Amino acid sequence: MVAAILIIFMIAIIIYKIKHNVKIWDRSLTLASIVLINTLYSILGGFFDLPYELSSVVTGGLSLVAFGYIVVIIWDFYKQKKALNK
Residue 68, pLDDT score: 83
Beta-carbon contacts of 55 under 8 Å, excluding residues fewer than 6 positions away, are: 41, 45
- Residue 34: CB atoms within 10 Å: 19
Between helix 52-85 and helix 27-47 the angle, nearest 10°, is 160
Low-confidence ranges of the chain (pLDDT < 70): none
pTM: 0.69
Residue 56, pLDDT score: 81
Residue 38, pLDDT score: 83
Residue 83, pLDDT score: 83
Residue 37, pLDDT score: 85
Domain of residue 60: give its range.
Answer: 2-85
In whole angstroms, give the CA distance from residue 69 to residue 64: 9
Number of domains in the chain: 1
